[in-house]
Chain A
Amino acid sequence: MALACLGFAAALGLAWGPLIHGGLPGALLPLPVLLSLGVGLWRRKPALVSAGLVMLVFLGVAGAATGKLLPAAGAVALGLASWDVALLSFRLGPAGESARIILKAQTRRAFWVAALGFALCVGLWRLRLTLPFWGLLGTLAGMWAAVVLLSRTAARLYRSRG
């Protein structure tokens, strides 16, 4: 749980960093995220923590809109990993020997997947490609198709058999 709190705090700091000089609106932006995550972690409410994550991603979007992608991508990746850790911590309850083993393995996997996502995002950002108009359009259409394919495949493979 402590790890999830630290992760969310770091993610919030990263997401808010680019907006810190945005005057009063910029200063107030992290408050709802902080409130939602704080209450959710304190009262062990998964719905509130998930809402906090969504708001954190929007904060990241606002940061990315200013052109600072690295902290925003870091915030999103860290937020996702902390979200995983928090949800499993809620489920496992008080830490026993078995719970500690599970949490350790889960933390490792969550941060590994998040790091991979972050690395891919940064790698793509560093990549300089010159695309003709139709190429760009094709890439976008491909991305859409990939997202739709992912959702449909997941729905088919993970549907309930009961």
Chain B
Amino acid sequence: MEGRHKAALELGLLFLLVTVGLALRHPPILLLAVPVAVHLTFGLALAYEKRHPRLSATRVLSAQRLHEGDEVEVTVEVENQGVDLEVVEVREPLPPRWELKAGRLASVKPLPRGGRMVLSYRARVSRGLYPLSHVEVTVRDLLGYTLWRGELPCAEPLAVLPRYERLSGLSISPRRTLVAQGTVRARRAGAGLEFFGTREYLPGDDVRRINWKAYARWDRLVITEFEEERATEVMVVLDVRASAYPPKHGKELLDRAARAAASLCQHFLGEGHRVGLLLYGRYLDFILPGFGKRHGERLLRMLARAELGHTEVFSELSQLPTRFFPPGSQIALVSPLVPGDQGFIGRLVARGYSLFLVIPDPLSLERAELPHSKETELAARILELERWEMLRTLCSAGVRFLLWDTSFPLAVQVRRLRRGRWL
């Protein structure tokens, strides 16, 4: 009951009292309209100049680039550039999944001309790109006849990037390599560290590469050759199809999948490969393969804005645009998978792609929150069996995959791969 509604109610009362007073020709009833009329008239008159306040807002952030789980300090300052305002309420809309740690998100106080109002808080942030574009302000007079609601612009963008782990021991061996040096064995002799073979010495060969033991044995000069190590193109694909994620914990699982994708991107970039990124599901959002730190930052920002979505076109993995990756190149797919995906993945491998699959396990996330009961255990067992059946198909197709129990760090489970143990 504010603003127009309040005035309308009083005006209605006023009409009623005057009408009843006149109809009954009873002066005391007519006079009862006087306090209402005075209240309404003075209220409106005193509130008149507060109708259109002139306010401006500025926002200061403690950092503009953070990783998920970090804390940010936000200070919003609202300045009054117009007339004295009697009641000013400033409210900061906290982005979803942010957790307030200290401070307040709303404040009410009178704001004289030239006065400032400061709202400051500390919050734990979650993955995403936040424009932090405005602050909500409500201005009213003391008796509540005028009400002005607005959003004051004070944009200060904040990028909350996925936290990534340093992976070690994750080796790839795609058929297709680039000319640049890297860590992928190119299956040809050249500059490298791993033994590739021997051949007869030819004039012009580096004498330091002469294999003296072979010379002693065969009495002719033999050269040791090393396997060339080259860089390659890696396309990291993050599955953002809503159907692949559990309805209740979909966002949490996507956060973890984005962390896995970020870890893979940073790992492959660190090894000197050209890395691209494709978000598959809601729409096709991609960055073509590239090198360097700036490229790594672009990949992280793209992962920060990854959200779950659904379109009929991309509801199945079979619509994955393979023209982004030349045959023989390396694909790193991060997806919880849905039944039916295994067929397409098998076909990709058959077409010569080298595929590495990280499967964030939705069961590990959901099981932790469900009560322990016979029914829960049975349901989990059935789902596990379905998943194992799918994984068995992938195994038989020769796909390298990692079923990631998200309650443990990815790096630990990748280290297990190095020891030759899969799953």
Contacts and interface: CB of A to CB of B under 8 A. Distances in A.
Contact of A102 (B13, B34, B109): B109
Q: Contact size class for B?
A: 35 or more
A46 B52 CA distance: 25
Interface string A144-160: 10010011001001100
A113 interface: yes
B15 interface: yes
Main secondary structure of the interface of A (DSSP, over half): helix
B13 A54 contact: yes
A158 B4 contact: yes
A124 B31 contact: yes
Interface residues of A, number: 52
Contacts of B3: 158
Nearest to A88: B144
A45 B145 CA distance: 18
B48 A110 contact: no
Contacts of B11: 147, 150-151, 154
Contact of B38 (A47, A57, A120, A125): A120
B151 to A, nearest CB: 12
B26 interface: yes
Contacts of B82: none
A154 B15 CA distance: 15
Interface string A78-105: 0010001001100111001011011001
Interface in B210-257: none
A46, A150, A158 — most chain B CB neighbours (10 Å): A158
B39 A158 contact: no
Contacts of B145: 158
Interface string B101-118: 000000111100000000
B420 interface: no
Contacts of B35: 73, 76-77, 80, 114, 117-118, 120-121
Interface in B12-63: 13-15, 17-18, 20, 22, 24, 26-29, 31-32, 34-44, 46, 48, 51-52
A46 B32 CA distance: 23
A125 B28 CA distance: 8
B18 A147 contact: yes
The 5 residue pairs across chains A and B that have the minimum distance between CB atoms: A117-B35, A117-B38, A98-B109, A121-B34, A64-B28
Interface of A: 46-47, 49-50, 54, 57, 60-61, 64-65, 67-69, 72-73, 76-77, 80, 84, 87-88, 91-93, 96, 98-99, 101-102, 105-106, 109-110, 113-114, 116-118, 120-121, 124-125, 140, 143-144, 147, 150-151, 154, 157-158, 161
